[in-house]
Amino acid sequence: MNVFESHKDRHAKIGEGSLGLDAISNIINHPKLRDLPFFLETPNELEGHGKEIELLKSLYKTDK
């Protein structure tokens, strides 16, 4: 991954980039964000998108 302000646009698989799974989980479960749709830019590997969607679903907490 590139450092902040490197002016490069790189994508990593969910949990493999700078944020990590804990940060992603905190974002998608934040009370002010949890009911909003998200667009995530990840590498263009169609076979991997299904796995990433399942990973996000497993991180999403259904109890508010």
What does the pLDDT look like over 28-53, one tens digit per residue? 999 999 999 988 888 777 777 888 88
**pLDDT, average across residues 19-34:** 92
Most confident among 11-15, 23-27, 36-40 (mean pLDDT): 23-27
For 56-63, which contacts have Cβ atoms below 8 Å and span 24 or more sequence positions? Answer: 56/14, 56/24, 56/28, 59/21, 59/24, 59/25, 59/28, 59/29, 60/28, 60/29, 60/34, 61/29
User: What pLDDT is recorded for position 1?
Assistant: 60
User: What pLDDT is recorded for position 9?
Assistant: 67
State pTM to two decimals: 0.74
User: Which has the higher per-residue pLDDT, 59 or 47?
Assistant: 59
